[in-house]
Amino acid sequence: MKALYERIMKDGRSLGNGILKMDRFLNHQIDPELMMQAAQELVSRFALNKRINKILTVEASGIAPAILVGYRMKLPVVFGKKARPSTMGDSYCAVVRSFTKQHDSTIYVSREYLGEQDHVLFIDDVLAFGEAGLGIVELCRQAGAKIEGMGFLVEKAFEHGRQALEDAGIAQIESLAVIESLDALSCW
């Protein structure tokens, strides 16, 4: 997606060690127009799959694009929470490693909102090592839900997350901007 590539080149920064800072438009401050364009592109890439009945993401940066995809597809959006609230009954849980925060988080999804009747489209901001996606694979396995595909705004191809997700059985993986190297982005 040309607009996303241009924005990454303009406002993205390499912080070294494979970290791509995109908080000027994606991870902290959000550009709603760019997010809507990205959502529409993701919707078009999954439009032929009529089985999808739920959008799934994880806290926090995946929520904005997931909501917009859900809005465009007229589907509910469920997000894995990184803390289990007292209001949540029985839940599924999976451990996910955060590359940028360098720690593990347990994500929770209520059994009320994910089950064997669900055909899930996972939407997230960045595909790096595939940890969030693998956490979703585990949650869906526990629920008996089927993952129909995964969509990402940005893929850092040099971290091989796509391969990890393909090895886990994900057939359709779509990324709007694939970054082969962070060398072209200035370091801060």
pLDDT digits (tens, 9 = 90+) for 7-62: 998 998 888 888 888 998 988 889 999 999 999 999 999 999 999 999 999 988 89
E-assigned strand segments in the chain: 13-14, 20-21, 54-58, 77-80, 91-98, 103-110, 119-127, 146-156, 173-179
User: For residue 128, which of 171, 96, 105 has the smallest C-alpha distance?
Assistant: 96
pLDDT digits (tens, 9 = 90+) for 106-145: 999 999 999 999 999 999 999 999 999 999 999 999 999 9
The CATH number assigned to the domain with range 2-179 reads 3.40.50.2020
Written as one string, the DSSP assignment of 69-107 is HHHHHT--EEEEBSS--TT--SEEEEEEEETTTTEEEEE
pTM for the predicted model, two decimal places: 0.92
- Position 187 scores a pLDDT of 43
Which residues are paired to 81 by β-bridges? 108
Boundaries of every domain in the chain: 2-179
